[in-house]
Structure formats: C-alpha cells, structure tokens
Structure 1
Amino acid sequence: MTSIEVRNLTTSGGRERPLLDDVSLTVPSGETLAITGPSGAGKSLLLRTLAGLEEQTSGDIVIGDGVVNAVDPRGRDLAMVFQDFALHPHLDVFDNLAFAATLRRGYDRAELSAKIHEVADLLALGDLLELKPADLDDAQRQRVALGRSIVRDANAYLLDAPFSQQSERLRSHVRSVTTQWQHEHQRTSIFTTSDVEEALSIADRVAVMHQGFIHQVGTPRDLYERPADMFVAGYLGSPPMNLVPAFPMDRQLVMPLATMLLDDDLLERIGSRGVVVAGIRPEHCYDASGQGGQSVTDRVEFTTRIDDVEWRGSSQFAYLGYEIAPEVEDLLNEVEDLLEFDLFQNFLVAELAPDSPLSPGMSIRVVIPRMKVHVFDPETGENLTLGR
C-alpha cells in the first residue's frame, strides 16, 4: 500500500474564509484514518481534492513518494466511495462491483469474479447480483458503491460517509466487515463520518475537522482523554463533555456548582485570565454515596438538586441545572458564534451508575476526580491542562 501526506492544503473558493484552511495530514501506509466533524466541516471537499476532483489554491498532496498536484484523478489511482453512490444504472450489481477493477489491464477474470462474490457476501449483496441499481434501495446502493471500491486494488481508499444510509441494525455489521477487510489487506484508508462514535471505533487515528481546518489528529484514546481544544472536547463523546464557565480566584477555580483547588502548574498556565471554561466529562461524575464516589481521593465535590433523570439501562443521566450571569452568557454566545457550533448549556450532565436511586427534585452529592477536570481558554479554545 501507499502513504498519503497533505501539506498545508488550502482551497479559497473565492470566499473570505477558506473552504480548506492550511490542512496538514499524514496517513502512513496501511493505516486507517477517520475524519469526523459536523456537516459542512469540509470533509467531503478534502477527499475530493485528494482524489484530484477539486483543485487546491495552495499546498501539496503527496501519494507515496511523489507530489501529485498536477496528476489527474486516474493517475492518482485512488478508489473512492461517493456520498451519491455514482453507480452505473445500465449495469447490474455484479458489473457495477467489477467496473473499476476491469479498467485495469491484465486483470484475471476468474480471480476478480471470486473476489466479487466474496465481497458481495460480506456486504449482504449476494442475492442481488443480477439486479440493476433502480431495483435497490439507498442502503443497498450504498453497499454496492462500497463494494465496488474495495473490490479493486488501488494506491489508497477514500470513503466518504460510506455507512450513512445503513439501518441501525445493519450499520455496525457493514462497518465491521469493511474495516476488517481493509486491515487484513493492509490498505491505506481514509473514512469520513459525522458519527463521533463511529469515527472512534473504526480508525487507527482520528482527525477532528471543522470550518475547513483540522483541530486535532490522534488515536481515539488521545483525542478523548486529551482534547487539544474546546471544540474537540465538546464534539467528542456521547453525551459530550460539560463545558461550564469558571473563575480563577486566588488558588481556586470557582464554577457554578463547585470550587476546585488549583495546583501551581495549572495556576501558572491560567495566568491573568479572569474567565476560563472548565470541562468535565459526564462519566467522570460519581454519586458520592456509591462505590465509585467513595474511591475518589483527590476530588472536587458539591451538593445540588437533580432537575431531571434519563434512564439508559447501563447508566442514567442526571441533569443538574445552574445559573449563568448575563455578561458571562454573552461571552459564551460569542464563542459559539465564532465556532458556529453549540457548546454550552446551563446544566451539567452526570452519567451515574444504574443502581443509584435518583429522581427529579432530590438532593445529590457529586464527586469528580480533580485531575479529570480540563481547563480551556475561552478565546483561543486552548486546553490549558495538557501540560500537567
């Protein structure tokens, strides 16, 4: 397989803000990268630019050892799954699966036929090989487009939201067999998805993209545990990280529901900032009366009333409301407007054990491990706790 490198890729599109903004990525040979972000983040445009279907304003695309800026799509030899499937309506499923592979000289017909039947069985298309695209539903058409891509041998594979049309029940199966096939064949692959959990589950590394640029690239665990900025923290997770306004006062960080002692390193990093944003993941909140809460030593704790409870089977979400001063709320609204993404709310979500007896209106004491609390600069979004 072949590596892919993107160096400072920018596409202006004639707009004030670039469509792709100084994007740099490296995908080593045989690695799977997932690019995730909200709709309109630039994920599809990035893949189309890599494939040579869109032109960049500046920057380089390197496939293997060569810069391919001037190479046409055919010369780049990248297999791509498009969101609109791009099937040939006059060909049946078998011939659609075979189409890209047959464009290469010297292919073995028997070997290709065997591969098509293997892929068709993996993607639940085995009984549909004689049908035309018009006879299929969108989920089946998408699987045909996906199968056509992975049947052929290419330098690398670009898959644009390849599971988006699949039903909830079938999606995990299609995703699993596809990623397993790519790994077994040691294929360099780039997936895009707006589904955060999907991105974290399918890839060796994940790139979080928004507003045309890459916020952070890393392993799923790195991104989840050490988000580089406030957007990554608020985007990853289900439910996402709680982001609450906080005020440094002497050696303490005062939050709407709790106060946390600041160590010397974090105090230095906060510096003269009068307002910061504290980040707390719901699963890092514990009921103080439960086993998890009792085991936390270096802790932040507070008592409040529960506004609402959602039962989820394996856990339950407790919603803990708080007030925000109007001037602070204005600041948070400005941050959201700048990011074009909703990050803040006036409640904290605590994901608690299913056996905790919770009900709206009751009082609860919550415990949070102090070292699990992140602190962000509200203006730059920088995670000030990464150095500790």
Structure 2
Amino acid sequence: MKAPRACGIDFGTSNSTAGWSRPGLPVLLPLEGDKTTLPSVVFFHAEDEHVSYGRAALADYLAGYEGRLMRSLKSLLGTSMIDDHTEVAGRALPFRDLLAQFIGELKRRAEKAADQPFSQAVLGRPVFFVDDDAAADRRAENTLAEIAHAVGLKDIAFQYEPIAAAFDYESQITREELVLVVDIGGGTSDFALVRLSPERARKADRRDDILASGGVHIGGTDFDKYLSLASVMPTLGLGSLLQSGLQVPSAQYFNLATWHTINQAYSRKSWSQISEIRRDAADKYKLDRLQNLVRERAGHWLAMQVEAAKIALSGTSETAMDLGRIAPGETLTLHRPDFDNAISELVDTVARTVMALLQEAGIKVGDLDTVFFTGGSSGVPLLREQISALLPQARSVEGDRFGSIGAGLALDAARKFG
C-alpha cells in the first residue's frame, strides 16, 4: 500500500505535532531530535538575528541570551492582535508573519523527517477559536488557511481537534462504542460525541457518526493564569495596598499572568507605571520583586515556573516553586487545594459545557460507553474528578495527551487526500 502524500498538522497553543499515516509505521513524525512534539515557542536572538524554536527556544531564553521569547502563538487567532505587530530586534514583525514563521518551520521539520514534501494537509482547529462570535471564528480559520497556503500547503482541509482525537482512538478499538472525547488543550477545551467502530472507520463520510461537538475557550494556559493570579502574583504585590489605602492597580499582573501578553509588561509605559506604583506602595518589598521581574525580563521564566507547578500539582498535594531569579534564595510552596480553588469556576464551566453537549444530542448519561481524555491539561485532577462524577457509568480512557490529535489528523488526511 502506497503511503499518502498528505499530512496532518496539529498547531497547538502549547505544543504542535505533524503526522503521516503509513502502514506499520509510527504516525507522528519526530520534530525535535527524537521528540514528536515541538513546543509552540519562538526565540529571536538579539545579537545575531538567529531564530530558535521549541525546546531549543526555551533553553536559549533560560540560558540568558538577549532576545525575545514568543509563546501561545495560536491564542492570537480570532483576536484583533493578529493584524497588529510586535517589535523584534528593533523591527516591526507582523503577528501573521510570526505565525507563518513557526508553521513554516513545523512543515519543514515534518518534510525532513518524512523525506518528502507535503503540499496537502488536514489542519486541526478547536470547535470554537472564539466563543459566541461566529464572524470572529470564521476570520480565525481563514487566517490560519491563508498562513498555511503562504508556507506552501496548496490543498488544505480542517478537522475539529476532538474529532481527530476520536479517529485516533477508533484505530485502537474492536467493537462499536459511543464515545465522548474530552480534549483539554493549552487554549481551549473541546468535545465531540461520536459513534466509533472498526466498520465505521472505513467510511469516507463520517458526518452521520458525529452526534455533537462543542467547546469553550478555556485551557491549560487559563489554569496557569488563574493559579498565578491566586498564589504567585500576590507575592509581587497584587492585592496589596497603596499608602492611600487603595489597592495596587492590577493591569500589570494580568499581563504577566497571561502568556501572550507578558511582553506588554516590558514597555517603557509599563515600567513608568510600575515605578509610580512602587513609590506609592505600602509594602515596597513586594513591588521590588515586581520591578526585578520586569527589569530582568523574567516574565516568561516565571510563567514557566507556574506551569511546572501546575503540572506537579496534578500528581502531588504540594510543590515548591523557585523564585530565585527575582528573590534570591526564596521559594513559594503551592498546595493542591489552592490550585483547585483557583480554577474551580473554570472547571465548572467546562463541566456545564459537557452536559449541554449531551443534552443537545439527546444522549442520556447512561448511554455513554467511554470518555476519552486527551490534551495536555486533561490530567488536571479536579477536572477529571468532576467529569467522571457527571458520567459515572462510562469508562475513562486516557489517550496520548500530546499526540492523539496529530495522529487522528494524519488518518483523516489519508482518507481525504489519498
């Protein structure tokens, strides 16, 4: 059987993959050494204009090289920022070009690993790029399509990410199942209710098998943000008082807690505002930490510490977070209950979205056979516990958190393009 000429591309908020369906061989292609995931990160070196990607970009940033780190690029789709630009090495870089640069690199690495060019691809997309705004959602998909064409993909199709994950799970089962796919990614939570079986997998048109799909713009980066605002940013002054008795303004803290706005805290205007706040603060020590953070351009470093703490709290009851770069010798102990409290409203929203999906499809809770969890943040304990409690009779199956979508997109690409 001849290998297809099309690939599947999962451009993710936190990590990206590329898949190529070939009989008897692994679907996901190695993109960075032997790793099949490429963190969706770009680092622009200031001195020699070199650009690094993925783990190498993170390593360069953490090593202290002068430059600009950009992460959570996908979050720009569907926002007004996509038509704006940012400053890199003294020049204006349009955000569209930034996304094209990363997706082009992702395509080049996939082609190198496959030892063949790809001009056709199925791209994953969340069920909603933007909640409750159909026009903005269409613009987001159109923007991604334009970027895909610009980097050399002539023929493209889109597939909802949870449905792609369903196709991956379907390749592993032996009987028909009614499956709820729960895909908790970096930027969105997406769901699909699908009838799957080995026989149905041979159908070219699967529309009748998809009973419902939905999603909400909540993901792992939101869990990071709310954990940061609840437990970390207060150590830098959030919630503390000015000498007047008013609370310290919160805008800079929200920028620093949100991956795609961290760089806004480094502007001259922001530095001036922080200096003014520090002058008027009742607790100047906490504002000294904030100034150290911005002076050292360590916002992404701190966000990585928060992300690591979130991951640790998914497996343990407490963890110590390093603050050494902004407060030498200091650590901050974070506890699972604090994390749960910080994200409880987000998890409630995700759970309500799941129940609304079942009601929309006219499916009773007891009719479900399987809940298939995928996505990097699907292991957050509070989220797993709440969804499992809503669907007690369904068995829980964990897929490849970072690879199920890319593998399913590759299977879909083989069906669509041959």
**TM bucket normalised to smaller:** under 0.3
Larger Rg: 1
State TM-score, norm by structure 2.
0.26
The structure that is helix-richer by fraction is 2
